[in-house]
Structure 1
């Protein structure tokens, strides 16, 4: 299969969660024997922070602007499938161009589905619009559950299918490292996550000055008052994630507000940490228990007290038990190889539907 992808970024994981998702998915997809071309808008903030400028698993190219995409018209037209990702700059115009040029299946991969739906409800069409959605043969969604039927019923998506993020299990493995932190958090700053981070990490740090905490990620405002036992790291590249998790006794997962409301929206942190054998303490949202079994494969917390209770594990027996069970679950159901197989199946089904529609139209003529 020849696949062309226009995504937010593959070359830089700085300040975004898209790059690691694309890398894991497309690396596994290429390993199934497919040819992949990734086209990325050349923007200065990623240009200054490219940690994968030349991926080995696909062809990669930068384009300057919408006019620059004309250089790739032949590849877009000749592909078996073309995927446009969420948050692509000028995404509506890019989507129109793809739907006009492509002769194969067209798909939209929404790595931000609940955020997208909230934006659409406000009339914000930054990267996709209600008029554009029915033009895609396939709507791949980061979010599962009831959101899939909503996309089809309210927005006319032809086929909304869940495609959760995943982990490259070969890259994210347990490592032997001295424990540096009792609780870590890895994530870019966002205004709606910050109150939860305050409640589930910063407040526990204030109450337990003898424990060690870390928050790693870009774009945190300068005015945040971090307790003395909270270390700040501006950025950890994906290659450093396994060592980061290995140095963490537990790690925290915090979910954006729109994704909590929608449910069924796992962060890649869940799969990466579990694959590395680091137990996760997570906030709570619908659908989480369908991915990991609470108290067996993951710990849940609403308050600072519950976080501190989870960290109170002197012998480490609970930590080891949860870490082992969570890693087993990931290897069974949430690797990039699982998602690549699902993507292939979704695309082939969409190809069949497209051929059937074309045949019916010919019959009517």
Structure 2
């Protein structure tokens, strides 16, 4: 199958979490014999910030870990229309310019032989629905949503059975326990500050309990303003700046545990959607502790695959137990690995995508022909998420 994916960036994971999953699932497609093309806009925001932060050397980790993958940059979507016209399946990520999203939809609606999917991996459908209304999806065959609560929003907007839940997952070829165990010390957190969406939670469930438990804490991430870095320092945490995602397994391998601190939108408005770090951490065999989060889709086994804390005091107790109880650490690692390897690898998601593509290929040729409301859907037809 010929598959084309339009992303914000494949090369850069700087504040671009979708790149983590994208790399893993596209590599699975390539290694299973599919013809994959990736397109990203010239001068995209993530890549420009990566180069400012780390120079071209910041791309080395990706290039070393993913030699099978490459992308083609474009200045105008017209440049890639011929290539898209040869594809069987085209997927357009929501972090693309609305004009590009609309243009590809028109290409499909004018008789493009490919099937066309919109891939949404963000909370904007509930936090900023006007931003999603900017997308004209009337030429699209369906939507891939990275959680059931987000898929439910699209169903309310008229997509019916043309929206599929497509969770993120761990790239098990790259994210795995270290070949040989070395010394482990303290905690590590890999995540961005979050534009105020979880600053209170970072303090309550990460910084303060780590300090109270007497555990060293290393923090990697970007977009930490001076006030945030001062807050880290006040709690004794060591801020280490940006870390290429391909090097995350190295960081996990040096520490006793890591922590999941979801953004507020994923606890209040879109419950049940974890950050991709949950999948990646469990795949790397590091014990995981979590701030409050409702695993409403039963992706994992709370208390078995990871430990959940209801408040900062319980998180401090969990951290202390992790430090002192080797058997607890071993149990969490074994069960977390078991769940991820059984259900949440990128090969699993590849097979889910191929099943969706087969279903689309068997349907009539017009975009959204299975749902009358889908045919009409565009910016004026999209209702409120609430």
- Please indicate, yes or no, whether the TM-score normalized by the shorter chain is above 0.5: yes
Which of 135, 154, 165 is the equivalent residue of 1:162? 165
Task: Tell me the residue number matched to 2:345.
Answer: 335
Distance in 2, matches of 1:359 and 1:315, equals 57
**Gapped regions of structure 2 (runs ≥ 5):** 371-386
1:22 is aligned to 2:22: yes
Where has structure 1 moved over 4 Å in runs of 4 or more? Answer: 46-49, 356-360
Closer, same or farther: CA 53–173 of 1 in aligned 2, 3 Å: closer
1:192-203 to structure 2, matched below 5 A, reads 192-203=197-208
Question: Greater CA deviation, 190-199 or 152-161?
Answer: 152-161
1:173 is aligned to 2:176: yes
Structure 2 length as normaliser, TM-score?
Answer: 0.84
1:265 is aligned to 2:273: yes
Task: Tell me the residue number matched to 1:101.
Answer: 107
Number of residue pairs matched?
A: 346
1:76-95 to structure 2, matched below 5 A, reads 76-88=84-96, 90=97, 92-95=98-101
1:95-174 to structure 2, matched below 5 A, reads 95-102=101-108, 103=112, 104-112=114-122, 114-120=123-129, 123=130, 125=131, 128-129=132-133, 132-144=136-148, 146-156=149-159, 159-174=162-177
Distance in 1, matches of 2:368 and 2:313, equals 60
Closer, same or farther: CA 94–316 of 1 in aligned 2, 3 Å: same
Q: Deviations over 1:20-59 (max 9, x none)?
A: 1110111112222211111111222245443436953345
Distance in 1, matches of 2:299 and 2:168, equals 12
Distance in 2, matches of 1:178 and 1:101, equals 55
1:239-318 to structure 2, matched below 5 A, reads 239-261=246-268, 262-287=270-295, 290-313=298-321, 314-318=324-328
Structure 1 length as normaliser, TM-score?
Answer: 0.88
* Displacement after TM superposition at 1:296 (Å): 0.9
Task: Tell me the residue number matched to 1:363.
Answer: none
Q: Deviations over 1:54-92 (max 9, x none)?
A: 95334521112xx3x22211111221111110212x1x2
Root-mean-square deviation (Å): 2.2
Distance in 2, matches of 1:26 and 1:60, equals 11
Question: Greater CA deviation, 187-196 or 288-297?
Answer: 288-297
Q: Deviations over 1:326-353 (max 9, x none)?
A: 0011000000000000011112212222
CA contact (8 A) 2:139 2:367 kept: no
CA contact (8 A) 2:119 2:144 kept: yes
Q: Deviations over 1:280-328 (max 9, x none)?
A: 1112233357011111111101322111111222131111101110001
CA contact (8 A) 2:94 2:120 kept: yes
**Gapped regions of structure 1 (runs ≥ 5):** 361-365
Greater RCO, CA 8 A, separation 6+: 2
